[in-house]
Structure 1
Amino acid sequence: MTVTRDRQWLLITSGRGPAECALAVAKLAHRMASAASLLGCRTEIIDAMQGPERGTFASLLIAVDGERAQAFAASWSGTHLWICQSPFRPHHKRKNWFVGVEHIAPAKDIDDVLRVSDVAFEAMRSSGPGGQHVNTTASAVRAKHKPTGLVAVAREERSQHMNKRLALARLAAALEAKTNAARSGVARERWAKHDALERGNAQRVFTGSEFAERT
Structure 2
Amino acid sequence: MNILGNSDGSSLQVIITIQLLYVLDLDVAQQYLSVYVEQEIEWQDVRLRWDPADYGGLDVVWVLCDQVWTTDLFNSNSLTVNEIYPDRLKQCKVHSNGSIHSDMFLQIDSACFLDVQKFPFDKQTCEIPFVTIAFEPKTFDLQGKLFTKYIGFTPQGNGEWNVLSLNMTKDSQLKSSSDNKEFSMVVFILKLQREPSFYFYVITLPCFLLTFLRKAFRYWVYLC
TM (normalized to structure 2)?
0.26
Which structure has the greater CA radius of gyration?
A: 2
TM (normalized to structure 1)?
0.27
Larger helix proportion of the pair: 1
